[in-house]
Amino acid sequence: MGLTLTEKILKAHIVDGSFEKGSEIGIHIDQTLTQDATGTMAYLEFEAMGIPRVKTERSVAYIDHNTLQNGFENADDHRFIGSVAKKHGIYFSRPGNGICHQVHLERFGVPGKTLIGSDSHTPTGGGLGMIAIGAGGLDVAVAMGGGAYYITYPKIVKVELVGKLRPWVSAKDVILEVLRRLSVKGGVGKVMEYVGEGVKTLSVPERATITNMGAELGATTSIFPSDEITLEFLRAQGRADVWSEQKADDDAVYDEELVVDLAALEPLAACPHSPDNVKSVEELGKMKIDQVCIGSCTNSSLLDMLKVAYILKGKTVAPNVSLAIAPGSKQVLNMLAENGALATMIAAGARVLESACGPCIGMGQSPNSAGISLRTFNRNFLGRSGTKDAQIYLVSPEVAALSAINGYLSDPTKLGDMPQFELPREFLVNDNMIEPPASEADAKDVEILRGPNIKPFPQTYPLSDKIECKVSLKVEDNITTDHIMPAGAKILPLRSNIPEISKHCFTVCDENFPARAKELGKSVIVGGANYGQGSSREHAALAPLYLGVKAVITKSFARIHAANLINAGILPLTFRDPADYDKISEGDDIILDDIFAAVEKGKMTLTTSRGEKITLLCAYTPRQIAILKAGGLLPYTKNQK
């Protein structure tokens, strides 16, 4: 029986555990990446481990999220990250060099390698044939120190692409179609592996768009084969030497299969407030819009930008629309400037932003009150844009550009014939904004630069055998990390200051939660299904930790957030019977007793103040139990030295 591509790469990197579905495995990590919204905490954690230099093949620190500097905090974080990178053997991509996933695809990704990043859209690297996984910052810190990264051995879904996309239908429509079929929970515990004749019709940037938004499925990662198209892309980047063929065996066996006929697809849009709330552009009709934003790690490649420029050429943005465009990297921006496409965008009335995440992470360009905004981004969660009553639709660059001109949601297939958009034979390569680290000999003289907003990792606590406290909050299904720990220009600069950022924890749901949790001293949170979906931000675990949260009890968890809770020493527990969710209310007193014995047998009893007994599941691995008993991954790792 042959192996899938996912199995081949995992098998080549496994260092702990057995090669069995559903079991926990530890894999060796070749590369890591961080970005500045998560990076400061990740490097504080790395420092706390006392390891002088990273042990990966390549680790890169990117500045791309917190680039709006309306106070000293972001600039201080950037300075801190730059000094840590220089001292500890990490490459530093300076502000303005571009979005981490776009730049990593261009300059660092290697087929067949493993990559974890403290950003949930790290699976973008799967477009090159990598196993690239989003993780919490502490997991990344451990990997930088040479430790294994642990995942549940995933189910592998064969996504067979047949046919070829029609003119003006795009890779964005492919992943929106998969989301429409599978939902934001459809990929949990799975890897999406793309195969079939249709793969050959997609460029590396198009493949990366699809793997990028696999994160919205809840998937562990997504991956394409590395083939001659991958080689062409790497050769154009001057990196042909890192290429290798990566593909599944012909007789590979998959756990599930899905067929997508590319020729049958039409332009799609994810409607508010979830990436899986997908309808066709035709079905939505000529909806008047207020704003269009083009960019993000999903759709900011040179190929995307060339299509946008073509549609905008000789036109003017509609009077009622604000159009913002953020090229994904300095390389893309330079090439647009050289070939005249940038001038076309400016002439049409686009507001050209720096090469950064920008509006996607709520860093500027918030829509007007109740505004309708079309965005080529990957998430449209409530309030993420910075305007709580805004209506955010996720669309392709082609839909976005044409709609900006018309002033209403528009179907680009009505444009007729499409020219052949091709990637250049040679990209403009200039890595002058990537700082290499100091040599080992010189590293001892590098000073770490810390600002007043940079606070230590919060104190964790060893597991107790009994938890007796109140329920401080009860929330519904599909709570995202944006609900738990909001993004945006006001809050993101506090990512390196857990005491301060905790004041905003869950304020999207209940503005009184931080004060209530702090006053209680210790408490538990109750949630619905798919709790913690979205970003990899470990702050969604660290802020509750600081506020005294001891356990989170839900119908089900998103993968990364459950891992982050364990890393922080917080118990993630699930109802054996989801109907028991209705038996607990905010403010209830609860008791969790005999916890040490319970975590060993995977089942725990919760007693309510009314005397009801509810069975909870806690299917932890021996390693996770040891982490919880130690008080989190950081003390556990230090104890292993």
What would the DSSP string read from start to end of 298-365? Answer: TS-SHHHHHHHHHHHTT----TT-EEEE--SBHHHHHHHHHHTHHHHHHHHT-EEPPSS-GGGGTSS-
Q: Is the pLDDT of residue 46 over 90?
A: yes
For residue 255, indicate whether it is catalytic. Answer: no
Average pLDDT of the segment spanning 93-112 = 98
SS (H, E, C) 545-592: HHCCEEEEEECCECHHHHHHHHHCCCEEEEECCHHHHHHCCCCCEEEE
Q: Is the pLDDT of residue 582 over 70?
A: yes
Q: What is the pLDDT of residues 471-499, one digit of tens each?
A: 999 999 999 999 999 888 889 899 899 99
Percent of the chain having pLDDT more than 90? 93
Provide the H-helix boundaries in 89-170. 100-107, 137-144
Considering 64-73, 129-138, 486-495, the range whose residues carry the highest mean pLDDT is 129-138
**Which option is the CATH number for 5-264: 3.30.980.10, 3.40.50.10800, 3.30.70.580, 3.30.499.10?**
3.30.499.10
Structure-token pair, residue 556: 């089900």
Q: What is the pLDDT of residues 223-267, one digit of tens each?
A: 999 999 999 999 999 999 999 999 999 999 999 999 999 999 999
Fold of the CATH domain 467-640: Aconitase; domain 4 (3.20.19)
For residue 235, indicate whether it is catalytic. Answer: no
Structure-token pair, residue 12: 């080549």
For residue 226, indicate whether it is catalytic. Answer: no
Average pLDDT of the segment spanning 191-207 = 98
Annotated catalytic residue: which of 13, 30, 36, 65?
65
Provide the angle, in degrees to the nearest 10, between the axes of the packed helices 100-107 and 204-212: 140
Tell me the pLDDT of the chain averaged across its residues.
96
**Domains of the chain: which residue ranges?**
5-264, 268-411, 467-640
What pLDDT score does 439 carry? 97
Annotated catalytic residue: which of 107, 273, 375, 379?
379
What pLDDT score does 545 carry? 96
What pLDDT score does 399 carry? 98
**Which option is the CATH number for 268-411: 3.30.499.10, 2.60.40.10, 3.40.50.10470, 3.40.50.150?**
3.30.499.10
Closest CA to 225 of 241, 209, 248: 248
For residue 483, indicate whether it is catalytic. Answer: no
519: which residues sit within 8 A by CB, 6+ positions away?
none
For residue 535, indicate whether it is catalytic. Answer: yes
Task: Give how far the C-alpha of residue 41 lies from the chain's centroid of Cα atoms, to the nearest Å.
Answer: 16
What pLDDT score does 34 carry? 98
For residue 385, indicate whether it is catalytic. Answer: no
Closest CA to 444 of 92, 44, 86, 141: 86
Count, in order, helices (H) and strands (E) of the chain.
Answer: 22, 27
Annotated catalytic residue: which of 13, 36, 58, 64?
64
Annotated catalytic residue: which of 36, 77, 119, 304?
119
Q: What is the pLDDT of residues 588-624, one digit of tens each?
A: 999 999 999 999 999 999 999 889 999 999 999 999 9
Q: What is the pLDDT of residues 364-418, one digit of tens each?
A: 999 999 999 999 999 999 889 999 999 999 999 999 999 999 999 999 999 999 9
Amino acid at residue number 412: P
Rounded CA separation 363/353 (Å): 11
pTM: 0.94
Q: Is the pLDDT of residue 322 over 70?
A: yes
Average pLDDT of the segment spanning 154-170 = 98
What pLDDT score does 641 carry? 61
Q: What is the pLDDT of residues 415-452, one digit of tens each?
A: 999 999 999 999 999 999 999 999 999 999 999 999 99
Q: Is the pLDDT of residue 36 over 80?
A: yes
What pLDDT score does 535 carry? 85
Annotated catalytic residue: which of 537, 539, 559, 561?
537
Dihedral-angle region of residue 587 (phi above 0 means left; psi in -120 to 50 means alpha; beta otherwise): left
Identical topology for domains 268-411 and 467-640: no
What pLDDT score does 627 carry? 96
Annotated catalytic residue: which of 183, 523, 535, 536?
535
Edge-to-edge order in the sheet of strand 24-27: 14-16, 24-27, 149-152
What pLDDT score does 261 carry? 98
Rounded CA separation 142/154 (Å): 21
